[in-house]
Amino acid sequence: MTDRRSYPEDVFLPITNVCRNQCSYCGFRRDPAHPDANLMTASEVAKTLVAGRRAGCTEALFTFGEMPEEHPLFREWIGDIGYSSVIDYLIDLCEIAIEYGLLPHSNPGVMDPRDIRRLKPLNASMGLMAGSTRSPRL
């Protein structure tokens, strides 16, 4: 047995905590009208990427609530910064992470095959929580 510890060398980027789901176990999700609801700006993301790179991070972990644009207020927020969906925004953020020398890992929840294909060339890996598949068996 060694005393070695391992840890992920990633910088955590919670792009938004707005989510269409209302899972009873989740402490992350906020309704868009909640005072703590957020949408990170590209400049906030860039500052976090720089700080992560300085700290020795090699991966950028992008996470957010599933399909937040189902909320009209979030659609307004994302539209105000020039995007029609959080996936479109994420694609640009992944490209920025690569420019900063970090490998993107996206955890956007359930996506359609088209969005998976669009994100695939920009991500070292992608994640999905099994609970977000909305299966009645889970």
**Residues 59, 57: Cα–Cα separation, whole Å:** 6
**What is the biggest distance separating any 2 CA atoms in the chain, rounded to whole angstroms?**
54
pLDDT in tens, 68-117: 999 999 999 999 999 999 999 999 999 999 999 999 999 888 888 999 99
Whether the Cβ atoms of residue 13 and residue 48 lie closer than 8 Å to each other:
yes
Give the tokens for residue 78.
Answer: 């994302």
Please check whether residue 98 lies inside any domain of the structure.
Answer: yes
Instruction: Point out which residues pair with 12 in neighbouring strands.
Output: 61
Higher-pLDDT residue of 93 and 131 is: 93
Please check whether residue 12 lies inside any domain of the structure.
Answer: no
Please check whether residue 8 lies inside any domain of the structure.
Answer: no
Share of the chain above pLDDT 90, in %: 56
Please check whether residue 109 lies inside any domain of the structure.
Answer: yes
Mean pLDDT of 11-35: 81
Please check whether residue 14 lies inside any domain of the structure.
Answer: no
The domain tally of the chain equals 1
- 1-10, 61-70, 91-100, range with the lowest pLDDT: 1-10
Give the tokens for residue 120.
Answer: 């695939």
